[in-house]
Amino acid sequence: MAEQLVELNVTGMHCNNCAMSIHKLLEKKGFQNVLVSFASEEVKFSTADSAVLPQVIKDIENLGFKVVDDAHPIATPFYDKVENKLIFCALFTAPLLLHMLFPWHLLHNPLLQLTLCLPVFLVGCQHFGKSAFSSVKNGVPNMDVLIFIGSSSAFIYSLVGTFQHLGESYLFYETCATIITLVLLGNVLEKRSVNQTTSAVKDLMKFQQVNANRVINGGIEIISASAVETGNILLVNEGDQVPVDGEVLSGDALVNEATITGESIPVNKSKYSTVIGGTIVHQGNLKIMATKVGSNSLLSQIIDLMKKAQAAKPPVQKLGDKVASIFVPIVILIALLTFVITYFATDAGAQRAMMNAIAVLVISCPCAMGLATPTAVMVGLGRAAKNGILIKGGDTIEAVANTKYVLFDKTGTLTTGKFSINDIKAANGSDIELIRGAITAIEERSNHPIAKSLVTGLQGQPQQKVILMSATEEKGLGMRAEDIEGNNYFLGTAKQKTDDNFNLSLYRNQILIAQISVDDTIKPDAAKLIATLKKMGITPILLSGDKKSRCASVAKILGIEDVHAEMLPEDKLKVVDIYREKGKTIMIGDGINDAPALTQADVGVSMNDASHIAIQSASVILLNTDLQSVVKFLQISRHTLLTIKQNLFWAFAYNIIAIPVAAMGFLNPMVGALAMAFSDVIVIGNSLRLKIKKVH
């Protein structure tokens, strides 16, 4: 049975810790491609058996969360907002802390301290206790277990001291309240910070929430973009956002496509041009026919790709996940050992032993380890997207870190893809007008850049009209066609040896009737790209289906030494495998003829036709034609991986240093709670630097 992706909307997640609980639960049940985002309240996983869904929902709700049907549920109740819980607890915690600063008798009264602490403790029980109990019951103990045990220990210890009149040395109500308040503060800061890391997806989603002007019965009807159907005629005025993907029926306009492609210069659109939903009409007006709506639109596919990308974990995260999964039981064991050793091996007494154990519990922070990778990946993917680079997953980012070879297709990648006909040589006295007519008729049926250039180049020239019954494309070879008189045509690269100056051949009934010389120009920044790759220690390779002479000419101009010419799609696969055995390999192509090679390489990068086969075959899609996007992609990937490693280092180092310090009694539990809360923010802050830092 085929795997299917399940998407759930889950409310009640307050921090990454909550998301980790659900993540562990689903992984424990054996589900694949698990993605849990507390910021967007989304849970996704793959399963081959949809019958398990009701039980999965029940298990998630047993953890203390709520699965809702609506993707945009009603607002969180006032009392359940973590920000409001923080304010409530802070109002009661502040007077408790004042007794440490002022010798006012009233503030030192045990019953008053109990009265101030009790509401905070009850909020802590509701917020952390329920989650802690559910996570233990389901066999996936989370961070809330440590917070609940730590705060409860301080509260119960103080309660015993109060009712047995043991004196001030047994009163730690402020410790209990401060732990809960500071961890709530950490939750608030964490949620706000993570919201910033997911801003790229949210910014794109805003472009879907617009209205459209639908032309109906001679009038204009304003509807939501989500209500547009394929075939609807829409009017897009100057300053409007194009609501869906479509084809221009009439009008002339400059359209800013920066939101999708990262290209800042507006593109001219006229009849037969395609427009992309989410782009802005800068100047002019267009009447378009909707061709792709809803989940089929390019914008929706980009958003879906970015969401799925967050689920693809880099291998570097596996270490963090393993440690986090066994972290809570280990910390509880260390806390117990701390209490026992401090109480029995020293003269510190029960009070000091209890405080040291509580400090160990609250200083520990698996949240930082859990946040280290996904926050960096989210920011890295977002920055790449804003530069017109779609990266399909965090695993791709790590795969390019040690790249040794970059294999380039030639046409449309290193060259512009805009061709011109240099010459047509008629063979055996064939009629040149028939040749032109046949070329036009055949290439009108193809979307290949060469085909479009041939049709454009022959416009206005005398030609005999050829009417075709059928035409089929043979990838990597050319086009086959049959006209209404039963004549068979083949237009494409020829297996038999022909003049090297001519790279296309036209056959009629298996007889060569013409050779065509077609050439395109090298992109102006291609040489700079090749030079940059060499400086980065990466070997550029030219891998093309074009003739050896043309490939050699382009390679010489650009400074590429390794050339593989006249390659069919299956030949390209073999070449990719050869280089993969030598080191990490990136393949850059147009996503159509190169689709198998793009899939086979360690990382496939599509330079062209981002709305079609590229989205399925490539790991990375460059939405603009600027070759510097390749360098930008490598730079962002390397800096994202560097940020992940920095985050994991700080998360591990923090715990390795903090836990022994707390166990030896050098750390007050309240200071520990504050440090724990801000360790998450430090990791997230380091990730957010990726938004603005210079990558080189």
Other beta carbons within 10 angstroms of residue 497's beta carbon come to 6
Distance in angstroms (rounded) separating the CA atoms of residues 656 and 298: 46
Task: Give DSSP secondary structure letters for 430-486.
Answer: --HHHHHHHHHHHHTT--SHHHHHHHHHHTTS------EEEEEEETTTEEEEEETT-
Distance in angstroms (rounded) separating the CA atoms of residues 146 and 144: 5
Tell me which residue has tokens 């998360």. Answer: 651
Of 413, 477, 404, 471, nearest in space to 439 by CA: 471
Q: Is 209 exposed, middle or buried (0-12, 13-18, 19+ CB in 10 A)?
A: exposed
The secondary structure of 43-109, three-state, reads EEEEECCHHHHHHHHHHHHHCCCEEECCCCCCCCCHHHCHHHHHHHHHHHHHHHHHCCCCCCCHHHC
Residue 241 carries which DSSP code?
B
C-alpha neighbours within 13 Å on the C-beta side of residue 235: 10
Determine the Cα angle at 89 with ends 87 and 90, to 5°.
65
Tell me which residue has tokens 């607890």. Answer: 89
Given a contact cutoff of 8 angstroms between Cβ atoms, the answer to whether 603 and 620 are in contact is yes
Task: Output phi, psi for 314, to 5 deg.
Answer: -65, 145
SS3 of residue 696 by DSSP: coil
Task: Output phi, psi for 676, to 5 deg.
Answer: -60, -45
From residue 313, give the alpha-carbon distance in Å to each of 193, 202, 376, 501, 650: 20, 21, 11, 49, 19
Distance in angstroms (rounded) separating the CA atoms of residues 426 and 433: 10
236: which strand partners? 286
Task: Give DSSP secondary structure letters for 562-603.
Answer: EEE-S--HHHHHHHHHHHHHHSEEEEEE-SSTTHHHHHHSSE
Exactly one of 144, 245, 395, 409 is catalytic; which is it? 409
409 assigned to active site? yes
SS3 of residue 22 by DSSP: helix
Given a contact cutoff of 8 angstroms between Cβ atoms, the answer to whether 114 and 97 are in contact is no
Distance in angstroms (rounded) separating the CA atoms of residues 45 and 35: 6
Given a contact cutoff of 8 angstroms between Cβ atoms, the answer to whether 597 and 571 are in contact is no
Residues in contact with 653: Cβ distance below 8 Å, sequence separation at least 6, in sequence order: none
Of 466, 542, 534, nearest in space to 506 by CA: 466
**Encoding tokens for residue 34?**
């698990």
Other beta carbons within 10 angstroms of residue 330's beta carbon come to 13
Where in the sequence numbering do the catalytic residues fall?
409
